[in-house]
Chains A and B, each alone.
Chain A
Amino acid sequence: MSPYLFYPLACLTIAGALGVVLNNNPVRSALSLVATLFLLAVYYIALQAHLVAALQIIVYAGAVMVLFLFVITLLNLSPDPADRTSPLFGAAALGSALLLAVVLGRALWATTLPGAANTPLPEGFGTTVVLARQLFSEYLVAFELTSILLLVAVVGAVVLAKRDPSPADMDAPAPGREA
């Protein structure tokens, strides 16, 4: 991956990730998250993983985040007042973030990533055929278990949505966006 591509991209991605945390407005936070996920797909393209990039955009930047935004716009959340959070909360957040950074850094330090060195890519790296062969041979069990998990989630969502609403819920006025 060319450094001329990597560093500007890295700056943009970090800016997007910061935007998720620092924005008071939930819609803008969600939009920053969309931008971050979209930029991650650009890395995948630069790393020859076209299929993963397309799936990243379809699933995360597309489907998941659209539903996030859909819910947020319907809930009509007001911008978070900044003075509601206590300094204790901020300190705790900063502390856990630092702890996570240390743990991740230590883990990265201890392992050598096979792709980090400038080794030539194996034949057909990142193509759909190679990925599919791996998925349906070596990782078949994990793949099938994941699909069962997703099926359970879908059935669960339908069951929850199908539950008869109580009369009190029906009478409640629909939430509207106040001017």
Chain B
Amino acid sequence: MEWLIAGVKCLLVILLVLQLSALMLWVERKGAALIQNRIGANRANLLGIFPVNLGFTNTLIADPVKMFTKEDYVPDGADKFIHSLAPFLALFPAIITFAAIPFGDTIELAGRSIELRAVGIDVGILYISATVAMGVYGVVLAGWASNNRWALLGSIRGTAQMISYELAMGLAVVSCVLLYGTLDLQDMVRQQGQMLFGWLPAWGVVYQQLAFILIFTAGMAESKRVPFDIPEAESELVAGYFTEYSGGKQASFMLADFAEVVMVAGLVTTLFFGGWQIPYLSSQGLALPGMAVITVSPLLVSLLQVAAFLVKVLFFCWLQVLVRWTVPRFRYDQLMNLGWKAMMPIALLNVFVTALAILLFGEVA
């Protein structure tokens, strides 16, 4: 039974990430259309059957079918094995990252308490850093194995960018670890259930605005999307590191990028926006400040909390789409300057100030 529960939880999380990533494909197009003042993504119609054009479902079905039925082309001088391996190495870490992120409180079901996250790993935040670090391999190997100069240039830019921004992200995470005093993401979310001054939810963003901006920015840089899409800059490098990929393999790279978008949204939600917490709502019931407690059944509370987590994640996915279609691409030197000369010193300063504040005023949480 234990194994079954663990298996179902893992499957749920993998499906959640994949579904959200696929959904992002449509959200991205609709978002672009909205910002560019056009309708967009409304041409796919299933066999002309539907009287109403359900652009949403049809794009979700039509796009993957189109991509996976295309010719899978491997260039002549390529290292065939590694060329085929690279998309897997890009997609795999992006999907498994979500395993450490809690999507709900512990629920009591049929006499069992089930913790709502895929893997109860007590160094969750380091696990996320580790999987993000593994994501670089897909980029390096795709560029190298393609035997194409655009691809190699793209992969070199991509590696340099990902390593640089990992640094700022890691340092920003350190200040969060100092704040919560734990590496466990579930613990961090629990601590954000407290109240400040009796009415303000003690979410991470109340204490760590700088770290929030740093992690969100560095996360967007990790997912290699505009404004940080130097590795695949189409006006300079055709398509960068996946120039020589087509069909399903190219779709895997796209899916990996979208999975990273979902991961960044999940991480930011967990660290700074209370994860699955709904303000004033706990397993005891709804307790608005200065009012009597309204009892709500614990199971309903748990379900509401999972829904709240999903809504928050979707919001940050949407925010990333907005940024992606609003800000133009950085030049290479601007990108490196931002990472090394702006974000890293600010992150270091933030760690120092956080440590000092904890030393002077004691542990916050």
Contact = CB atoms under 8 A, between A and B. Distances in A.
Interface of A: 25, 27-28, 31, 34, 38, 50-51, 54-55, 57-58, 61-63, 66, 69-70, 73-74, 127-128, 176-177, 179
B147 A70 contact: no
B149 interface: yes
Given A57-B130, A63-B133, A179-B147, A73 B155 contact: yes
18 contacts: A27-B82, A28-B81, A38-B134, A51-B126, A51-B183, A54-B127, A55-B126, A57-B133, A61-B133, A62-B133, A62-B134, A63-B133, A66-B133, A66-B163, A70-B156, A73-B143, A73-B152, A73-B155
A66 B140 contact: yes
A74 B144 CA distance: 9
Given A70-B156, A73-B144, 18 more contacts: A27-B82, A27-B144, A50-B121, A50-B122, A51-B123, A51-B126, A51-B183, A54-B127, A55-B126, A63-B133, A66-B136, A69-B144, A73-B140, A128-B122, A128-B123, A128-B183, A177-B152, A179-B147
A143 B216 CA distance: 32
Contacts of B159: 66, 70
B79 A27 contact: yes
Contacts of A58: 126, 129-130, 133
B137 A34 contact: yes
Interface in B132-179: 133-134, 136-137, 140-141, 143-144, 147, 149, 152, 155-156, 159, 163
Contacts of B123: 50-51, 54, 128
Chain B interface secondary structure, helix, strand, loop or mixed? Answer: helix
Q: What does DSSP make chain A's interface, helix, strand, loop or mixed?
A: helix
Nearest to A59: B133
Given A50-B121, A66-B140, A66-B159, A61 B134 contact: yes
Nearest to B177: A128
B77 interface: yes
A54 B177 CA distance: 15
A38 B127 CA distance: 13
Contacts of A27: 79, 82, 141, 144
A128 B123 CA distance: 8
Nearest to B163: A66
A149 to B, nearest CB: 20
Nearest to B81: A28
A38 B92 CA distance: 14
Nearest to A55: B126
Contacts of A34: 137
A57 B134 contact: yes
B288 to A, nearest CB: 37
B133 to A, nearest CB: 3
Contacts of B136: 62, 66
A177 B133 contact: no
A169 to B, nearest CB: 19
